[in-house]
Amino acid sequence: MVEEGRSQPLLEEGRSQPLLEEGRSQPLVEEGRSPVTKPRTLNVIGLGPGPDKWLTPEAQQALADVDHVVGYAPYVNRVPQREGLTRHASGNTVEVDRARLALDLAQQGHSVAVVSGGDAGVFGMASAVFEAAADYPDVPVEVLPGVSAVQAVAAKAGAPVGADFAVVSLSDRLKPWPVLEKRLRAIAEADLVLAVYNPASRSRTTQVADLQKLFLEHRSPDTVVVVGRDVGRAEESLTVTTLAELEADTIDMKCLLIVGASSTTVTAAGQVWTPRFVE
């Protein structure tokens, strides 16, 4: 899971010119260039959390048909290079800039895909594309679904989101902490299962502990907590613990947390599930 942030110019570190295509010496999009043909549909594709087997057939076919792939470098690198494909990789926190790049290319008549990890509509590039697309009314946008990180972690754990649940990004880069705190408190009071994206980073080291303290005001200390790390990858791990015993300082951006409801249970085999009913 990768934290999305505020837009910055799409520049390579230490450069003052626009990011260049692989193997080109000119900017990706020339200013004032007129479309070579009518605009094409821009595909926004979720690649899933990691393994190729979690890439949907629809997404796989769309990626095979496009001429340009745009996205955050680790995700672009998951799309194999092939003849006729130009990959446009960029750093983190430049979502709207790369969305505009993709829209520019689609407007010129190129076949383009914007890629995200997991599902592009869940804290991914889809929202950033629609934000930028207001300036490109002639470019159709199609979002192709992907397996989300919360689905992957939940499936590995058992069925912890089998009943009502909420999903929150703990990053405060796009919303202030007081807003986050208000939402977390409402979720805790409502006894909803909570899935937490972007729980910590190098610059955000206290928010998991803050969440833990807040939830302990409303939930039992033995509330079930699932910590999924790198799920779907070779180094994946899944830890089942409790709200009181959660080691907040061990959580980083590779993790997704699921905090159970009061009814969430652990089976004798160690699997986690939440009943569909509320008594």
Give pLDDT tens digits for 56-76. 999 999 999 999 999 999 999
- Crossing angle between the packed helical segments 177-189 and 207-216, to the nearest 10 degrees: 30
Q: Give the predicted TM-score (pTM) of the model.
A: 0.84
Task: Note the pLDDT of residue 173.
Answer: 86
Helix (H/G/I), strand (E/B), else coil: 232: coil
Half-sphere exposure of 201 toward its Cβ, with a 13 Å CA cutoff? Answer: 15
CA dihedral 249→250→255→259, nearest 10 degrees, is: -70
Domain ranges of the chain: 42-147, 150-273
Q: How much is the pLDDT for 69?
A: 98
Q: Assign domain 42-147 to a CATH class.
A: alpha beta
Distance of CA 187 to the CA centre of its chain: 21
Q: For residue range 229-264, list pLDDT tens digits in order.
A: 999 998 999 999 999 999 999 999 999 999 999 999
Q: Grade residue 118 by pLDDT with cuts at 50, 70 and 90.
A: very high
Portion of the chain with pLDDT greater than 70, in percent: 87
As a whole number, mean pLDDT of residues 21-32 equals 44
pLDDT digits (tens, 9 = 90+) for 182-237: 999 999 999 999 999 999 988 888 999 999 999 999 999 999 999 999 999 989 99
Q: What is the mean pLDDT of residues 92-114?
A: 96
Query: pLDDT tier at 4 (50, 70, 90 boundaries)?
Result: very low
**Cross-sheet strand order for the sheet of 193-197:** 165-169, 193-197, 255-259, 224-229, 237-242
In contact, 212 and 259? CB cutoff 8 Å: no
- The pLDDT of 166-176, averaged and rounded, is 93
Q: What's residue 114's pLDDT? A: 98
pLDDT of 24 above 80? no
Domain 150-273 listed as CATH 3.30.950.10: yes
The Cα–Cα gap between 236 and 230 comes to: 5
Residue 34 has pLDDT above 90, yes or no: no
